[in-house]
Protein backbone atom coordinates (compact mmCIF):
# COMPACT_ATOMS: atom_id res chain seq x y z
CA UNK A 1 0.00 0.00 0.00
CA UNK A 2 2.80 2.41 0.89
CA UNK A 3 4.53 1.68 -2.44
CA UNK A 4 1.35 1.74 -4.48
CA UNK A 5 0.35 5.32 -3.66
CA UNK A 6 3.65 6.89 -4.87
CA UNK A 7 3.54 4.72 -8.03
CA UNK A 8 0.01 5.89 -8.75
CA UNK A 9 1.06 9.53 -8.32
CA UNK A 10 4.06 9.01 -10.62
CA UNK A 11 1.86 7.37 -13.22
CA UNK A 12 -0.66 10.23 -13.12
CA UNK A 13 2.20 12.75 -13.51
CA UNK A 14 3.61 10.89 -16.56
CA UNK A 15 0.19 10.75 -18.15
CA UNK A 16 -0.19 14.52 -17.61
CA UNK A 17 3.21 15.19 -19.17
CA UNK A 18 2.40 13.02 -22.17
CA UNK A 19 -0.93 14.77 -22.70
CA UNK A 20 0.66 18.23 -22.54
CA UNK A 21 3.47 17.11 -24.86
CA UNK A 22 1.05 15.71 -27.43
CA UNK A 23 -0.95 18.93 -27.43
CA UNK A 24 2.18 21.03 -27.97
CA UNK A 25 3.73 18.69 -30.56
CA UNK A 26 2.15 20.41 -33.64
CA UNK A 27 3.58 23.76 -32.56
CA UNK A 28 6.99 22.26 -31.87
CA UNK A 29 7.10 20.68 -35.36
CA UNK A 30 6.58 24.10 -36.93
CA UNK A 31 9.56 25.61 -35.13
CA UNK A 32 12.93 25.93 -36.88
CA UNK A 33 16.31 26.49 -35.25
CA UNK A 34 16.35 30.11 -36.46
CA UNK A 35 12.97 30.95 -34.92
CA UNK A 36 14.33 30.83 -31.35
CA UNK A 37 17.68 32.15 -30.27
CA UNK A 38 19.00 30.44 -27.18
CA UNK A 39 20.15 32.63 -24.29
CA UNK A 40 23.39 32.30 -22.39
CA UNK A 41 21.72 30.48 -19.50
CA UNK A 42 18.78 28.17 -19.08
CA UNK A 43 17.29 30.54 -16.47
CA UNK A 44 16.85 33.28 -19.07
CA UNK A 45 15.05 30.84 -21.34
CA UNK A 46 12.64 29.51 -18.72
CA UNK A 47 12.26 32.49 -16.34
CA UNK A 48 12.82 35.71 -18.34
CA UNK A 49 10.18 37.74 -16.42
CA UNK A 50 11.65 36.80 -13.04
CA UNK A 51 15.16 37.76 -14.10
CA UNK A 52 13.88 41.03 -15.57
CA UNK A 53 12.14 41.84 -12.26
CA UNK A 54 15.31 41.29 -10.25
CA UNK A 55 17.36 43.30 -12.74
CA UNK A 56 15.07 46.28 -12.24
CA UNK A 57 15.80 46.30 -8.50
CA UNK A 58 18.32 48.98 -7.44
CA UNK A 59 20.34 46.97 -4.93
CA UNK A 60 22.62 49.87 -3.97
CA UNK A 61 19.69 52.14 -3.21
CA UNK A 62 17.91 49.46 -1.20
CA UNK A 63 21.09 48.74 0.76
CA UNK A 64 21.52 52.45 1.57
CA UNK A 65 17.89 52.69 2.67
CA UNK A 66 18.15 49.55 4.79
CA UNK A 67 21.35 50.79 6.46
CA UNK A 68 19.70 54.14 7.19
CA UNK A 69 16.73 52.40 8.86
CA UNK A 70 19.03 50.16 10.87
CA UNK A 71 20.96 53.23 12.03
CA UNK A 72 17.72 54.90 13.17
CA UNK A 73 16.71 51.77 15.10
CA UNK A 74 20.13 51.59 16.76
CA UNK A 75 19.94 55.25 17.75
CA UNK A 76 16.51 54.70 19.32
CA UNK A 77 17.80 51.64 21.16
CA UNK A 78 20.75 53.62 22.48
CA UNK A 79 18.43 56.38 23.73
CA UNK A 80 16.22 53.77 25.39
CA UNK A 81 19.23 52.18 27.10
CA UNK A 82 20.39 55.60 28.33
CA UNK A 83 16.90 56.35 29.69
CA UNK A 84 16.75 52.98 31.46
CA UNK A 85 20.22 53.58 32.91
CA UNK A 86 19.15 56.97 34.25
CA UNK A 87 16.02 55.51 35.83
CA UNK A 88 18.01 52.66 37.39
CA UNK A 89 20.57 55.17 38.76
CA UNK A 90 17.75 57.18 40.35
CA UNK A 91 16.22 54.05 41.86
CA UNK A 92 19.59 52.93 43.23
CA UNK A 93 20.17 56.41 44.67
CA UNK A 94 16.70 56.40 46.29
CA UNK A 95 17.22 52.92 47.74
CA UNK A 96 20.61 53.89 49.16
CA UNK A 97 19.12 57.08 50.60
CA UNK A 98 16.35 55.10 52.30
CA UNK A 99 18.91 52.62 53.64
CA UNK A 100 21.07 55.43 55.01
CA UNK A 101 18.08 57.11 56.65
CA UNK A 102 16.96 53.78 58.12
CA UNK A 103 20.45 53.16 59.48
CA UNK A 104 20.54 56.65 61.00
CA UNK A 105 17.10 56.19 62.59
CA UNK A 106 18.10 52.77 63.90
CA UNK A 107 21.31 54.20 65.36
CA UNK A 108 19.40 57.09 66.94
CA UNK A 109 16.88 54.64 68.37
CA UNK A 110 19.66 52.50 69.83
CA UNK A 111 21.34 55.56 71.30
CA UNK A 112 18.04 56.73 72.77
CA UNK A 113 17.41 53.27 74.24
CA UNK A 114 20.91 53.23 75.73
CA UNK A 115 20.40 56.71 77.16
CA UNK A 116 17.05 55.72 78.66
CA UNK A 117 18.54 52.55 80.12
CA UNK A 118 21.36 54.54 81.71
CA UNK A 119 18.77 56.78 83.32
CA UNK A 120 17.08 53.81 84.97
CA UNK A 121 17.94 53.77 88.68
CA UNK A 122 19.64 50.63 89.96
CA UNK A 123 16.70 49.63 92.23
CA UNK A 124 14.32 49.85 89.27
CA UNK A 125 16.52 47.59 87.10
CA UNK A 126 16.28 44.90 89.75
CA UNK A 127 12.48 45.03 89.93
CA UNK A 128 10.73 41.90 88.66
CA UNK A 129 7.47 42.79 86.94
CA UNK A 130 4.40 40.75 87.97
CA UNK A 131 2.87 38.59 85.24
CA UNK A 132 -0.73 39.55 85.99
CA UNK A 133 -1.93 42.08 88.59
CA UNK A 134 -4.37 40.62 91.10
CA UNK A 135 -6.88 43.47 90.74
CA UNK A 136 -7.49 46.14 88.13
CA UNK A 137 -6.09 48.73 90.51
CA UNK A 138 -2.82 46.88 91.21
CA UNK A 139 0.21 48.89 90.16
CA UNK A 140 -2.02 51.89 89.61
CA UNK A 141 -2.77 51.77 85.92
CA UNK A 142 -0.76 48.73 84.85
CA UNK A 143 -3.66 47.44 82.80
CA UNK A 144 -3.51 50.46 80.54
CA UNK A 145 -0.32 49.00 79.05
CA UNK A 146 -2.51 46.42 77.35
CA UNK A 147 -3.82 47.47 73.98
CA UNK A 148 -7.42 46.57 74.72
CA UNK A 149 -7.52 49.07 77.61
CA UNK A 150 -6.08 52.00 75.72
CA UNK A 151 -7.57 54.49 73.28
CA UNK A 152 -11.23 53.40 72.84
CA UNK A 153 -12.14 53.40 76.58
CA UNK A 154 -9.95 56.27 77.85
CA UNK A 155 -11.66 59.57 78.54
CA UNK A 156 -8.88 61.85 77.40
CA UNK A 157 -10.66 65.05 78.44
CA UNK A 158 -11.25 63.75 81.96
CA UNK A 159 -7.60 62.71 82.25
CA UNK A 160 -6.49 66.13 81.04
CA UNK A 161 -8.62 67.78 83.76
CA UNK A 162 -7.12 65.46 86.41
CA UNK A 163 -3.67 66.32 85.08
CA UNK A 164 -4.29 70.04 85.54
CA UNK A 165 -5.68 69.48 89.06
CA UNK A 166 -2.62 67.45 90.03
CA UNK A 167 -0.25 70.05 88.59
CA UNK A 168 -1.97 72.70 90.73
CA UNK A 169 -1.79 70.42 93.78
CA UNK A 170 1.91 69.73 93.18
CA UNK A 171 2.58 73.45 92.91
CA UNK A 172 1.06 73.84 96.37
CA UNK A 173 2.81 70.77 97.85
CA UNK A 174 5.82 69.71 95.78
CA UNK A 175 7.10 67.30 98.45
CA UNK A 176 4.18 64.88 98.19
CA UNK A 177 5.41 61.80 96.27
CA UNK A 178 1.86 60.44 95.93
CA UNK A 179 0.85 63.42 93.78
CA UNK A 180 3.74 62.72 91.41
CA UNK A 181 2.77 59.04 91.34
CA UNK A 182 -0.83 59.88 90.44
CA UNK A 183 0.39 62.26 87.75
CA UNK A 184 2.57 59.47 86.36
CA UNK A 185 -0.49 57.18 86.36
CA UNK A 186 -2.40 59.70 84.25
CA UNK A 187 0.49 60.06 81.79
CA UNK A 188 0.69 56.27 81.59
CA UNK A 189 -2.99 56.06 80.64
CA UNK A 190 -2.39 58.74 78.01
CA UNK A 191 0.65 56.76 76.84
CA UNK A 192 2.84 59.83 77.34
CA UNK A 193 5.79 57.73 78.43
CA UNK A 194 8.42 60.45 78.81
CA UNK A 195 6.14 62.53 81.06
CA UNK A 196 5.26 59.40 83.03
CA UNK A 197 8.97 58.61 83.45
CA UNK A 198 9.73 62.08 84.80
CA UNK A 199 6.78 61.94 87.23
CA UNK A 200 7.71 58.50 88.60
CA UNK A 201 11.40 59.45 88.85
CA UNK A 202 10.50 62.55 90.85
CA UNK A 203 8.25 60.47 93.10
CA UNK A 204 11.04 57.92 93.66
CA UNK A 205 13.46 60.68 94.58
CA UNK A 206 11.03 61.69 97.32
CA UNK A 207 10.31 58.05 98.30
CA UNK A 208 13.25 55.85 97.14
CA UNK A 209 12.08 52.68 98.93
CA UNK A 210 8.61 52.59 97.35
CA UNK A 211 8.47 49.33 95.35
CA UNK A 212 5.13 50.18 93.72
CA UNK A 213 6.60 53.32 92.17
CA UNK A 214 9.68 51.36 91.12
CA UNK A 215 7.50 48.78 89.36
CA UNK A 216 5.52 51.49 87.56
CA UNK A 217 8.72 53.21 86.47
CA UNK A 218 10.10 49.90 85.26
CA UNK A 219 6.99 49.40 83.13
CA UNK A 220 7.44 52.87 81.65
CA UNK A 221 11.09 52.21 80.83
CA UNK A 222 10.04 48.96 79.18
CA UNK A 223 7.60 50.86 76.96
CA UNK A 224 10.24 53.43 76.09
CA UNK A 225 12.67 50.69 75.08
CA UNK A 226 10.00 49.08 72.88
CA UNK A 227 9.40 52.30 70.94
What is the model's pLDDT at position 145?
A: 42
Kindly report which listed range (118-132, 148-162, 212-226) carries the lowest average pLDDT score: 118-132
CATH class of the region 122-130+138-226: mainly alpha
Model confidence, pTM:
0.40
What is the tens place of the pLDDT at every residue in 25-71? 776 666 665 555 555 666 766 677 787 888 888 888 888 899 999 99
Mean pLDDT value across the chain:
77
Residue 155 pLDDT class (50, 70, 90 cuts): confident
Neighbours of 1 (CB within 10 A): 4
Share of the chain above pLDDT 90, in %: 16
pLDDT in tens, 95-149: 999 988 988 888 887 777 666 656 555 555 554 444 444 444 444 444 434 333 3
Q: What is the mean pLDDT of residues 220-225?
A: 83
All structural domains of the chain with their residue ranges: 37-119, 122-130+138-226
8, pLDDT greater than 80: yes
| pLDDT at res. 32 | 60
What's the CA gap between 216 and 191, in Å, rounded?
Answer: 13
Up-side HSE of residue 26: CA atoms within 13 Å toward CB? 1
Higher pLDDT, 125 or 166: 166
pLDDT > 70? residue 222? yes
Confidence of residue 84 (pLDDT cuts 50, 70, 90): very high
Closest among 163, 161, 211, 208 to 185, alpha carbons compared: 163
**DSSP states of the chain as a string?**
-TTHHHHHHHHHHHHHHHHHHHHHHHHHHH--GGGS---SSHHHHH-HHHHHHHHHS-HHHHHHHHHHHHHHHHHHHHHHHHHHHHHHHHHHHHHHHHHHHHHHHHHHHHHHHHHHHHHS-HHHHTPPPPSS-SSTTTTTTGGGGSGGGSGGG--HHHHHHHHHHHHHHHHH-TT-HHHHHHHHHHHHHTT-HHHHHHHHHHHHHH-TT-HHHHHHHHHHHHHHHH-
Amino acid sequence: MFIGIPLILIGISLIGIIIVGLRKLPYLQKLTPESHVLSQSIWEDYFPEVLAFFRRIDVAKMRATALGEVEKILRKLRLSVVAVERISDRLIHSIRQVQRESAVRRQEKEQEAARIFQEVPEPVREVTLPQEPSTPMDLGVSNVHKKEAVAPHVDVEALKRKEQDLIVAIAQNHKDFQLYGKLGDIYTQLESWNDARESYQTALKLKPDNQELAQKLSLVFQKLLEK
